A and B are shown apart, each in its own frame.
Chain A
């Protein structure tokens, strides 16, 4: 049995600070025991919309140095089929399930949330806000802090479960967006996700991805995620914060905890090795042991900066 490493995200108790990031947990029937559920704090489902989406054309993935370039286009079966078929399977994996909800309008976010927050086995909602705002015709709900807060707040008011507003690492004023979402009533924040990116296949004179524009994940983005988590933790101290970006080992997860995360999301590493989240959790336990720290929470924001000891 892995050593338990409980963390408390403002009343949401997880047995481990390591969470499988959205889009990397499958549909509950893929990897089975290879995920080593006992070592994982929670998994975040793929992002769910109201209607089914077939997603973007391939190729959807390309390897880059220390990174994974990808664009899936939010392929998902729609909330009705998700709640009916996929969610029960995710719940049966034995890992607490956080459902990622998204939409092109405020109304869609709320409608998806209304179907998900009462479904058995769900422990929290993550509102995936960094996607096109079709209502206001903007590239992202996160383009303006007040819009991100408006949508996140509406999801939070609808949901009986804790809601985490997911913000991207790259925003002109990430701290402001975080504060706005917290004022609007969200329980916590997630700062994670790929950075906008693309690839070119010069040999064929074509984009590397079928959708042309995509996202970069993996170890290449870890310093960017650290900075974003650090900024948000300072902007909204005391607010539960999940951070993620390129973590593949226990000490790297500890870096994010030191920067201010309460829990760490692991995405790309899970794709390379379904056992990575559990292994990283063990690595965190070993790190804590080696540094005489009893709980992941004791690391939180413990970065010694400036003239500290």
Chain B
């Protein structure tokens, strides 16, 4: 992990979300899909904790080399402050943090399932999987059209794409979980990657366990430090010897976990879409 005073290149709207592009070559160079960064929010005492966000794009080559992007929805004073950052100011950023998604060694047909801002973690993954010659299908959703994360980008990145919204304003009406079985069967899915609220991840894990499809999930859990110091972001993960579970830290041992090893009944987790990616806003 690196720490940087990163220059804000731009802050822009992405549907319901805001996206910030930062100049931070050491972080952009190292970031992998599934990893996150943490950003300090306004100097002062009222809101202390750094806010964690998925990295959804990182440029290592070309005109944008050394930049990366993260997205969030404004739900609290920290994210509201971030959304107002003028270009060319700087942010105190630590990253990349956490364990990235593992790429499949053999399997070729990947389905990326995301809902809400969680889908941000998958955009970067789609790029990297394609670069490794894997087929990428995507199933993304949100409450409304505005909450579907970068649908045009998803179209560009995927061989097959399904979009669902709870209100039916884009794609089919429903939740991603409602159409997972049918799409996975139709597309011949061999491996699943998922990100989003707890109920989505849990549904993905159950489906994949039944079908014996390997699945990795990128979790959102409330974090204290994001760097592994405080043991605040505990996720119950089954021991490999079958003797129960341990609490692993989402920030260093995750946020990507093997879906089959999460003890879902014991994960307090974030009940539903949290205020900001991984954090309290």
Residues of A32-51 at the interface with B, using a CB-CB cut-off of 8 Å, are 32, 34, 46
| Number of residues from B at the complex interface, CB < 8 A | 38
The complex places the Cα of A72 from the Cα of B49 at a distance, in Å, of 17
Assess whether A70 is interfacial by the CB under 8 Å rule: yes
Query: Judging by beta carbons under 8 Å apart, are B3 and A62 in contact?
Result: no
Query: Judging by beta carbons under 8 Å apart, are A54 and B49 in contact?
Result: no
Query: Judging by beta carbons under 8 Å apart, are B269 and A58 in contact?
Result: yes
Query: Judging by beta carbons under 8 Å apart, are A58 and B229 in contact?
Result: no
Assess whether B23 is interfacial by the CB under 8 Å rule: no
Assess whether B152 is interfacial by the CB under 8 Å rule: no
The complex places the Cα of A275 from the Cα of B50 at a distance, in Å, of 14
Which among B94, B224, B228, B270 has the greatest number of chain A C-beta atoms within 10 A? B224
The complex places the Cα of A248 from the Cα of B234 at a distance, in Å, of 26
Q: Known: A34-B94, A270-B229. Is A55-B234 also a contact (CB below 8 A)?
A: yes
The complex places the Cα of A25 from the Cα of B48 at a distance, in Å, of 18
Query: Judging by beta carbons under 8 Å apart, are B221 and A23 in contact?
Result: no
Query: Judging by beta carbons under 8 Å apart, are A57 and B232 in contact?
Result: no
Residue of B nearest to A206 (CB): B271
Q: Known: A63-B49, A70-B224. Is A274-B229 also a contact (CB below 8 A)?
A: yes
Contacts of B233 in A (CB 8 A): 58, 60-61
The distance from the CB of B234 to the nearest CB of chain A, in whole angstroms, is 5
The distance from the CB of A62 to the nearest CB of chain B, in whole angstroms, is 7
Residues of A51-79 at the interface with B, using a CB-CB cut-off of 8 Å, are 54-63, 65-68, 70, 72, 75
Assess whether A244 is interfacial by the CB under 8 Å rule: no
Query: Judging by beta carbons under 8 Å apart, are A218 and B48 in contact?
Result: yes
Contacts of A296 in B (CB 8 A): none
Contacts of A68 in B (CB 8 A): 48-49, 224
Assess whether A204 is interfacial by the CB under 8 Å rule: yes
Query: Judging by beta carbons under 8 Å apart, are B94 and A72 in contact?
Result: no
The complex places the Cα of A72 from the Cα of B230 at a distance, in Å, of 8
Chain A interface, >50% SS class: loop
User: Per-position contact with A for B28-53: 1 when CB-CB < 8 Å, else 0?
Assistant: 00000000000010000111111000
Contacts of B247 in A (CB 8 A): 54-55, 58, 75
Query: Judging by beta carbons under 8 Å apart, are B228 and A54 in contact?
Result: no
Assess whether A283 is interfacial by the CB under 8 Å rule: no
Residue of A nearest to B224 (CB): A61
The complex places the Cα of A54 from the Cα of B238 at a distance, in Å, of 12
Query: Judging by beta carbons under 8 Å apart, are B232 and A70 in contact?
Result: yes
The distance from the CB of B170 to the nearest CB of chain A, in whole angstroms, is 27
Contacts of A27 in B (CB 8 A): 228
Query: Judging by beta carbons under 8 Å apart, are B45 and A219 in contact?
Result: yes
The distance from the CB of A163 to the nearest CB of chain B, in whole angstroms, is 24
Query: Judging by beta carbons under 8 Å apart, are A58 and B231 in contact?
Result: no
Query: Judging by beta carbons under 8 Å apart, are A63 and B3 in contact?
Result: no
Residues of B73-88 at the interface with A, using a CB-CB cut-off of 8 Å, are none
Query: Judging by beta carbons under 8 Å apart, are A271 and B49 in contact?
Result: yes
Assess whether A113 is interfacial by the CB under 8 Å rule: no
The complex places the Cα of A1 from the Cα of B40 at a distance, in Å, of 25
Query: Judging by beta carbons under 8 Å apart, are A25 and B229 in contact?
Result: yes
The complex places the Cα of A24 from the Cα of B45 at a distance, in Å, of 19
The distance from the CB of B122 to the nearest CB of chain A, in whole angstroms, is 24
Contacts of A31 in B (CB 8 A): 1, 227-229
The distance from the CB of B11 to the nearest CB of chain A, in whole angstroms, is 23
The complex places the Cα of A285 from the Cα of B210 at a distance, in Å, of 62
The complex places the Cα of A61 from the Cα of B230 at a distance, in Å, of 9
Assess whether B91 is interfacial by the CB under 8 Å rule: no
Query: Judging by beta carbons under 8 Å apart, are A23 and B231 in contact?
Result: yes
Assess whether A298 is interfacial by the CB under 8 Å rule: no
Assess whether B266 is interfacial by the CB under 8 Å rule: yes
Q: Known: A75-B247, A219-B48, A272-B50. Is A70-B271 also a contact (CB below 8 A)?
A: no
Contacts of B236 in A (CB 8 A): 57
CB < 8 Å: which of B94, B230, B245 contacts A70? B230
Contacts of A219 in B (CB 8 A): 45, 48
Assess whether B104 is interfacial by the CB under 8 Å rule: no
The distance from the CB of A202 to the nearest CB of chain B, in whole angstroms, is 14
Query: Judging by beta carbons under 8 Å apart, are A58 and B230 in contact?
Result: no
Residue of B nearest to A74 (CB): B231
Q: Known: A57-B268, A63-B48, A204-B271. Is A30-B227 also a contact (CB below 8 A)?
A: yes
Contacts of A56 in B (CB 8 A): 234
Query: Judging by beta carbons under 8 Å apart, are A58 and B221 in contact?
Result: yes
User: Per-position contact with A for B124-145: 1 when CB-CB < 8 Å, else 0?
Assistant: 0000000000000000000000
Assess whether A107 is interfacial by the CB under 8 Å rule: no
The complex places the Cα of A58 from the Cα of B269 at a distance, in Å, of 7
Contacts of B229 in A (CB 8 A): 24-26, 30-31, 270-271, 274
The distance from the CB of B107 to the nearest CB of chain A, in whole angstroms, is 31
Assess whether A173 is interfacial by the CB under 8 Å rule: no
Assess whether A273 is interfacial by the CB under 8 Å rule: yes
Assess whether B223 is interfacial by the CB under 8 Å rule: yes
Assess whether A16 is interfacial by the CB under 8 Å rule: no
Q: Known: A61-B224, A70-B224, A210-B268. Is A75-B231 also a contact (CB below 8 A)?
A: yes
The complex places the Cα of A275 from the Cα of B225 at a distance, in Å, of 12
The complex places the Cα of A4 from the Cα of B1 at a distance, in Å, of 27
What are 26 contact pairs spanning A and B, CB under 8 A?
A24-B225, A26-B227, A29-B228, A30-B252, A34-B94, A57-B236, A58-B235, A58-B269, A59-B221, A59-B222, A59-B268, A60-B224, A60-B232, A60-B233, A61-B222, A63-B280, A65-B46, A66-B48, A68-B224, A70-B230, A72-B234, A75-B234, A210-B268, A272-B225, A274-B229, A275-B3
